[in-house]
Structure 1
Amino acid sequence: MTSAVRTSRPLVMAGGAVLLLALGLVALMLVRPSSSEGSSGRAAAPSDTSVDVGFARDMSIHHQQAVEMSFLVRDRTSDDAVRRLAYDIINTQANQRGMMLGWLEMWGRAKSSEAPPMAWMGHTVESRGDGSLMPGMATDAELDALRSAKGRAAEVLFLKLMTVHHRAGAEMAQAAATGATTDEIRNLAAGMVRGQRSEISLMADMLEERGSPV
């Protein structure tokens, strides 16, 4: 990929904890193999071009930006509801990202690829050079605007950006929930669909309370 999502210091710190969680997950799965194992006692790793691997790579990037945006708004508002939502997104999506990176490690697959994002969905996504690597992702300019905003303005911008982010994320997750071959990805993706759709509804209500349309 030609551009990268810029991260904040708290995100780097959170990444260390997530990496430890991911390594623990990998160790647990190696000790207790999944039901998808063959007769040899070891599960066959999904191919590099599979839905499972492509989704794990792309959603890890998608989640990384959601976590970054949540850290940004958390430090720019004192509103309890928005800070609580940001905290939930940070913890949920950092945890899920750690799981996906852990599975890629266990499968022996690289965490990045030269293939265009979302090729596993049959989509062609070309980088526009604005930081928005996939549908729903905020541009560099939008992230800069969120960094500059404070109070109610930061809350509204965050809720709007995260709503768009979640809608695209839920679409990606739905494709993985129906197209992946591993129980790990299918189950995780299905949970993402439910969780992100629920948060989309919550954010619509929060925007209405702030007198702003989605």
Structure 2
Amino acid sequence: MHRREAGVTVPWRALRWPLAMLAAAVLVCGTFLVVLAAGADGDDGPAVPDTASADAGFARDMVVHHQQAVEMSLIVRDRTDDEDVRRLAYDIVNTQANQRGMLLGWLDQWELPASSGGPPMAWMGHEMPFEARDGALMPGMATDTQIRRLRAAGGEEAEVLYLRLMTAHHRGGVQMSQMAEPVVETRVVRRLAGTTLRGQQSEIELMRDMLEERGGIVKP
């Protein structure tokens, strides 16, 4: 597919990455502006969430969830020379490492521990239809076996496996963010949940196209 600009035919693939990177930058910058604005606005729910609150629980779980996305992205960066996959991995590392730092910063500001010692997803207040297995603690997380497979793969095999695993990972992040938005009480956490939801939905669409270019979407 091509797009014509100023008398020049431009491949759509060449335009896709600048647009995706611009969207990611807007979402990340918007999140930081929300944090600054929330600090100046008193209408932000409880001043300090309780350690058993949905805000604290969601923050703790997303710290773990984001960390695995960063780990997988760093793995594939060294397993392929494909510039599209490496660029996606770089964007995910930057976005999710930044958000992880924000979440840990909020927990520290609230003087709450970074881990509760309880089961993941307990902040929902009801049983989560998800069974942790083989290191996959939350929806969408890759198992330890899948991570080992990614470390052992190379080239296009690593690219396809990474895209499949990260698509599932993002879908889990979207699910968690959808569950958090209506129950968290602080504005910064609610807005971060919304930012995560929109950003990861956009990357899921991008990864779908990348997988189709490499032979189609197949569950990991």
CA distance in 2, matches of 1:183, 1:68: 29
2:147 is matched with 143
**Can you list the C-alpha shifts for 1:60-118, whole angstroms capped at 9, x where unaligned?**
00000000000000111111110010000000000000000000001111100122100
Q: Which runs of 5+ in 2 are unaligned?
A: 1-31
* Structure 1 residues 105 and 207: alpha-carbon distance in aligned structure 2, compared to 1, 3 A threshold: same
Greater Rg by CA: 2
* AA aligned opposite 1:84: R
2:111 is matched with 108
Over aligned residues, Cα RMSD in angstroms?
2.0
CA distance in 2, matches of 1:86, 1:148: 17
Deviation of 1:34 after TM superposition, in Å, equals 4.1
Alignment TM-score, normalising by the size of structure 1: 0.80
The match for 2:186 among 182, 186, 201 is 182
* AA aligned opposite 1:144: R
CA distance in 1, matches of 2:158, 2:59: 30
Report sequence identity in percent.
Answer: 59
* Structure 1 residues 210 and 37: alpha-carbon distance in aligned structure 2, compared to 1, 3 A threshold: closer
The SS at the match of 1:76 is: coil
CA distance in 2, matches of 1:58, 1:83: 26
The SS at the match of 2:140 is: coil
**Bigger mean CA deviation after superposition, 114-123 or 191-200:** 114-123
2:8 is matched with none
**Is 2:44–2:187's contact at 8 Å kept on the other side of the alignment?**
no
2:123 is matched with 120
The match for 1:83 among 86, 89, 93 is 86
Deviation of 1:51 after TM superposition, in Å, equals 1.1
Q: Which runs of 5+ in 1 are unaligned?
A: 1-24
The SS at the match of 2:185 is: coil
The match for 1:153 among 151, 157, 166 is 157
The number of aligned residues is 182
Residues 26-41 of structure 1 aligned to structure 2 (within 5 Å): 32-36=39-43
* AA aligned opposite 1:36: D
**Is 2:44–2:186's contact at 8 Å kept on the other side of the alignment?**
no
**Is 1:116–1:126's contact at 8 Å kept on the other side of the alignment?**
no
Residues 3-42 of structure 1 aligned to structure 2 (within 5 Å): 32-36=39-43
CA distance in 1, matches of 2:44, 2:210: 45
**Can you list the C-alpha shifts for 1:106-133, whole angstroms capped at 9, x where unaligned?**
11111001221001122345543x1111
